[in-house]
């Protein structure tokens, strides 16, 4: 089963980093957040990826083309072109298809344009800027159990604001940035049957989260897998700093792999 990752957005709310690179290439712990996402899937045995490129897509192409040299130590014997790598990461066997899906295309159009690279009955889809400790095997098991076209992961991230429980003008309790347990948001980490491509259009203005998913829900073909564990997108510089801090303190909940 292939994993499609949307990597084409311009990341305008993270301009401090995305002026020179696409958002999926912003580094956490010395590795792009895209790598962290791929490591999660690979941990569960899914290592065939289709990357939907757009804004500064050549940066991602060059990164993976030169991955062995960029990510590992190596010994080179000058004059012979003899190079021996000394791996620091175990990404052996990853198969990555990099597809230019257009500079201005929206998420639905990007997905539609890689349809030809998805030849199985089911595929996974996520965004190139969100990490989680979700169990992919359980997500897949849930998707297979209900028989519908699509499954979306519902996430309950912590609120950005402190929560006040009040009675008249008295504060009964104060909860600093509680997890939003009552309302779920779209956490990405989708699984779709291939029929979902019929809901998409190639035109640039096709937004995955608008008509395609709205129509899928209207047709009662979209189910939600509720994930109560860690989930965090990297939408702003504040998000980036938070993820970076978690990694540096070795408290990164999304690091489910061992190496």
Instruction: Give the SS3 label for residue 232.
Output: strand
pLDDT in tens, 101-132: 999 999 999 999 999 999 999 999 999 999 99
Predicted TM-score of the model (pTM): 0.88
Q: Give 3's strand partners.
A: 49, 124
What mean pLDDT comes out for the span 178-200?
A: 84
* CA separation for the pair 85, 76 (Å, rounded): 9
Q: Which ranges constitute the DSSP H helices of 48-187?
A: 57-65, 67-71, 107-112, 136-146
């Amino acid at each position: 089963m292939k994993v499609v990752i949307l990597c084409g957005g311009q990341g305008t709310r993270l301009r401090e980093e995305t002026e020179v690179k696409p958002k999926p290439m912003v580094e956490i712990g010395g590795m792009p957040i895209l790598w962290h996402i791929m490591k999660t899937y690979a941990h569960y045995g899914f290592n065939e990826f289709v990357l939907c490129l757009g804004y500064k897509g050549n940066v991602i192409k060059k990164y993976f083309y030169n991955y062995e040299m960029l990510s590992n130590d190596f010994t080179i014997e000058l004059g012979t072109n003899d190079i021996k790598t000394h791996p620091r990461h175990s990404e052996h066997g990853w198969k990555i298809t990099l597809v230019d899906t257009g500079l201005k295309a929206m998420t639905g159009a990007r997905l539609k344009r890689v349809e030809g690279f998805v030849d199985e009955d089911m595929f996974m889809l996520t965004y190139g800027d969100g990490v989680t400790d979700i169990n992919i095997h359980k997500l897949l098991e849930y998707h297979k159990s209900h028989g519908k076209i699509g499954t979306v992961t519902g996430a309950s991230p912590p609120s950005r604001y402190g929560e006040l429980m009040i009675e008249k003008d008295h504060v009964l309790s104060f909860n600093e940035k509680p997890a939003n347990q009552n309302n779920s948001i779209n956490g990405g980490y989708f699984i779709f049957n291939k029929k979902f491509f019929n809901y998409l259009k190639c035109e640039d203005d096709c937004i995955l989260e608008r008509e395609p998913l709205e129509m899928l829900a209207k047709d009662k073909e979209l189910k939600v897998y509720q994930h109560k564990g860690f989930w965090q997108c990297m939408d702003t510089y504040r998000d980036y700093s938070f993820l970076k801090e978690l990694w540096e303190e070795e408290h990164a909940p999304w690091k489910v792999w061992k190496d």
